[in-house]
Amino acid sequence: MSNAEAASQDEMIQAVYHFAAEKMRDGASNQEIQKALMEQGVDEESAGIIVTQLNELRDQQAKEAGQKNMMFGALWCIGGIVVTALTYSAASEGGSYVVAWGAIIFGAVQFFRGMFQTGM
């Protein structure tokens, strides 16, 4: 197989995966995607493999996004607690202090959102 044929075959494979990913993004079920691929000339086994691989990739990306949300949520929440503790400590002899409710609540919500994304 020449380089041109290999490049052409790679482009065709990318086009098939792109087509299936677009269908998935549009909310089509796995069976609908597999049927659409077979209508495009892909055999049943290959269509099943493509759908499975795209599902695995989507799940992996959701897990990575969830872990990122958990990390940033924890940072916001801990930062809010630290600001509250430091200002409370500085105001121990009288005066006012800051309760960083916004950061604490935002961080907790973000953390739990990430936790649900990762499937924990």
Q: Can you read off the two tokens belonging to residue 87?
A: 């200002």
The reported pLDDT for the residue numbered 3 is 64
DSSP letter for each residue of 25-90: HTT--HHHHHHHHHHTT--HHHHHHHHHHHHHHHHHHHHHHHHHHHHHHHHHHHHHHHHHHHHHHH
User: What does the pLDDT look like over 57-104, one tens digit per residue?
Assistant: 999 999 999 999 999 999 999 999 999 999 998 888 888 888 999 999
Q: What range does the domain containing 13 cover?
A: 3-118
pLDDT band of residue 108 (cuts 50, 70, 90) is very high
**How many structural domains is the chain composed of?**
1
User: What does the pLDDT look like over 6-29, one tens digit per residue?
Assistant: 667 788 888 888 989 999 989 889
